[in-house]
């Protein structure tokens, strides 16, 4: 017994060190990858409020850039209005010809995809697992697993929400975004390897696909997380694997993650339905 | 008592600068600045090693919560606090230690060796834990080395300023 007490007295510091270090490492391991961005509710609010101070101070610095983005978006919207107007004219013409009012009325009126606009209050790009926190939460209709985009392209997926804030796993994380090559609609998955926040990666593209520098990759729209045709990036470099002859491509993100300011959370009205269908299907397969 | 308040105030200053300012700065887009560890290096010598560990754990945990990563800063800071007395013994003589608390003024060049060793330990632990993989090991090391350089630079600046103030 005495020797035990003596041992504790002598190596108390080392034991305390080991205890604290192991505690810290357990916390690190429990917060790997996806779980890492699941904040405790308290700390999300704390972090958001602490960062609101810096955001308030730096908001004005980005105004010029943000203004340009707004102008671009305005232009795109105007274009869309023109297209829709033409469509309307065509429909009116068609109405006079053969399409019945009943048919036109039966078309869905409510848009499938709605956007919730939110301001970024916290954003990292230099970690291995980056997250974004926005100032809209469950009170505004934001829910976990919703996609997030901005005017440039995809941003990430909502991980967890509190009442007035939401944590987003940015594309600069362990996120696989389902995308397609616009040139031939070839489906693929875009990843990030943790190096530069400017570039993403597409791996194991089959030989017959032969990706080219300059190819555009957009979202596929198959997952109900992102709508179709949101830009992901542009192929900047293509390398061929010498053993499998498959291609790997480096893509430049369309989104500049360093200057995120306002983002749009995608609320797909059919999201729950599609998710349910997918999970039912998986259960059935497991039963088999 | 007054000393304790002094330490607490200094901790809050370091944390505020780190969380509100430096966490938002990434040099070249990938090089973070983690100068907050200098607080552990500058603590008084008469603090017991076990108390040092607890202070370091609380300090690191606070930073973790505000940085949005869990455990990484705590692990690195506690490790530094544990090694501090040993590194101190390695570079600083007993006489110097009795003369005063860690600073360039008291220890001279030995302070640089002491501080630089601990900064290197801290940053390597931090970056290895953050990546948790040896993929892209070279790039992780490059990031760690440039961060070490910047933190060391800040350390030298702070010490020089402290030294010139005390002279006046």
- DSSP class per residue in A6-17: HHHHHHHHHHHH
Nearest to A24 among B21, B24, B75 (CB): B75
Among residues B33, B7, B74, B114, which one has the least CA distance to residue A27?
B74
Share of chain A above pLDDT 70, in %: 84
Highest mean pLDDT among A54-63, A93-102, B21-30, B63-72: B63-72
Chain A: give the shortest CA distance to residue B54, in Å: 8
Q: What is the pLDDT of residue A199?
A: 92
Nearest to A194 among B50, B79, B131 (CB): B131
Domain count, chain B: 1
Q: What is the pLDDT of residue A80?
A: 78
What residues in A contact B29, CB-CB < 8 Å?
125-126, 196-198, 258
Among residues B123, B95, B122, which one has the least CA distance to residue B108?
B95
pLDDT grade for B56, boundaries at 50, 70 and 90: very high
The answer to pTM > 0.90 is: no
Nearest to B69 among A13, A36, A198 (CB): A36
Chain A: give the shortest CA distance to residue B44, in Å: 17
Asked whether the predicted pLDDT for residue B44 surpasses 90, the reply is no
Asked whether the predicted pLDDT for residue A12 surpasses 70, the reply is yes
Highest mean pLDDT among A55-69, B61-75, B140-154: B140-154
Distance CA B86, CA A21 (A): 17
Best of A13, A33, A167 to disrupt the B interface (most B CBs within 10 Å) is A13
Q: What is the pLDDT of residue A39?
A: 44
Average pLDDT over residues B41-58: 88
- Say if residues A246 and A233 touch (Cβ distance below 8 Å): no
Q: What is the pLDDT of residue A104?
A: 56
Q: What is the pLDDT of residue A264?
A: 87
Span A136-150, pLDDT tens digits: 899 988 988 899 988
Which of the two residues, A173 and A29, has the higher pLDDT score?
Answer: A173
Query: Alpha helix (H) ranges present in chain B?
Result: 2-16, 38-41, 49-67, 72-91, 94-99, 104-107, 109-131, 137-167
What residues in A contact B131, CB-CB < 8 Å?
128, 194
Q: What is the pLDDT of residue B77?
A: 94
> In which domain, by residue range, is B99 found?
2-167
Residue with tokens 């960062």: A51
Average pLDDT over residues B136-141: 82
Q: What is the pLDDT of residue A200?
A: 92
pLDDT grade for A34, boundaries at 50, 70 and 90: very low
Average pLDDT over residues B49-72: 87
Long-range contacts of A48-51 (CB under 8 A, 24+ apart): A48/A121, A48/A122, A48/A133, A48/A135, A48/A165, A50/B19, A50/B20, A50/B66, A51/A121, A51/A122, A51/A133
Nearest to A127 among B69, B75, B135 (CB): B69
* Cross-chain residue pair A50–B54, CB shorter than 8 Å: no
pLDDT grade for A83, boundaries at 50, 70 and 90: confident
The answer to whether A138 contacts chain B (CB < 8 Å) is no
Average pLDDT over residues B137-164: 88
Asked whether the predicted pLDDT for residue B167 surpasses 90, the reply is no
Asked whether the predicted pLDDT for residue B80 surpasses 90, the reply is yes
- What is the average pLDDT value for chain A, to the nearest integer? 80
The answer to whether A127 contacts chain B (CB < 8 Å) is yes
The answer to whether A261 contacts chain B (CB < 8 Å) is no
What residues in A contact B72, CB-CB < 8 Å?
24, 28
The answer to whether A182 contacts chain B (CB < 8 Å) is no
What residues in A contact B56, CB-CB < 8 Å?
20
Nearest to A258 among B29, B70, B72 (CB): B29
The answer to whether A31 contacts chain B (CB < 8 Å) is yes
What residues in A contact B54, CB-CB < 8 Å?
16, 20
ipTM above 0.85, yes or no: no
Best of B23, B68, B134, B143 to disrupt the A interface (most A CBs within 10 Å) is B68
Asked whether the predicted pLDDT for residue A115 surpasses 50, the reply is yes
Span B85-121, pLDDT tens digits: 889 888 888 888 877 788 888 888 888 999 999 999 9
Q: What is the pLDDT of residue A35?
A: 42
What residues in B contact A193, CB-CB < 8 Å?
135-136
Span B5-31, pLDDT tens digits: 888 898 899 999 888 888 777 777 678
- What is the average pLDDT value for chain B, to the nearest integer? 86
Q: What is the pLDDT of residue A249?
A: 92
Highest mean pLDDT among A10-19, B3-12, B118-127: B118-127
**Nearest residue of chain A to residue B74 (CA atoms):** A24
What residues in A contact B63, CB-CB < 8 Å?
none
Asked whether the predicted pLDDT for residue A105 surpasses 60, the reply is no
Instruction: Return the H-helix or E-strand segment holding A5.
Output: helix A2-30
């Amino acid at each position: 017994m005495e020797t035990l007490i003596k041992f504790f007295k002598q190596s108390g510091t080392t034991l305390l060190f080991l205890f604290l270090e192991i505690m810290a490492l357990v916390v690190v391991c429990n917060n790997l990858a996806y779980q890492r961005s699941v904040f405790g509710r308290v700390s999300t609010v704390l972090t958001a409020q602490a960062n609101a101070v810096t955001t308030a101070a730096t908001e004005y610095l980005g105004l010029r850039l943000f203004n340009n983005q707004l102008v671009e978006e305005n232009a795109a919207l105007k274009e869309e209005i023109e297209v829709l107007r033409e469509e309307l004219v065509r429909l009116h013409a068609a109405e006079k010809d053969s399409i019945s009012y009943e048919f036109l009325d039966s078309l869905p009126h409510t848009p499938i995809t709605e956007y919730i606009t939110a301001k970024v209050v916290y954003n990292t790009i230099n970690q291995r697992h980056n997250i974004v926190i926005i100032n809209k939460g469950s009170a505004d209709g934001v829910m976990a697993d919703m996609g997030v985009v901005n005017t440039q392209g995809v941003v990430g997926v909502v991980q967890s929400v509190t009442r007035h804030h939401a944590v987003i796993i940015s594309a600069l994380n362990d996120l696989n975004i389902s995308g397609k090559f616009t040139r031939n609609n070839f489906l693929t998955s875009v990843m990030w390897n943790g190096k530069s926040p400017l570039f993403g990666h597409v791996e194991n593209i089959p030989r017959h696909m032969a990706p080219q520098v300059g190819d555009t990759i957009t979202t596929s729209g198959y997952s109900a997380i992102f709508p179709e045709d949101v830009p992901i990036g542009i192929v900047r470099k293509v390398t061929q694997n010498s053993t499998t002859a498959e291609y790997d491509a480096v893509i430049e993100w369309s989104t500049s993650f360093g200057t995120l300011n306002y983002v749009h959370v995608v609320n797909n009205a059919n999201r729950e339905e599609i998710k349910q269908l997918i999970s039912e299907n998986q259960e059935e397969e497991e039963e088999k | 008592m007054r000393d304790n308040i002094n330490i607490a105030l200094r901790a809050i200053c370091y944390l505020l600068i780190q969380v509100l300012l430096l966490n938002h700065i990434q040099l070249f887009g990938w090089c973070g600045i983690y100068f907050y560890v200098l607080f552990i290096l500058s603590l008084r010598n008469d603090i017991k090693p076990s108390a040092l560990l607890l202070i370091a754990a609380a300090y690191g945990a606070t930073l973790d919560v505000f940085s949005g990563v869990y455990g990484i800063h705590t692990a690195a800071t506690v490790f530094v606090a544990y090694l501090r007395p040993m590194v101190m013994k390695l570079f600083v003589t007993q006489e110097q230690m009795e003369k005063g608390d860690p600073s360039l003024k008291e220890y001279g060049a030995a302070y640089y060796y002491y501080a630089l060793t601990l900064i290197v330990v801290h940053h390597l632990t931090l970056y290895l834990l953050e990546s948790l993989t040896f993929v892209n090991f070279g790039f992780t090391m490059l990031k760690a080395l440039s961060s070490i350089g910047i933190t060391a630079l800040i350390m030298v600046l702070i010490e020089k300023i402290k030294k010139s103030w005390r002279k006046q």
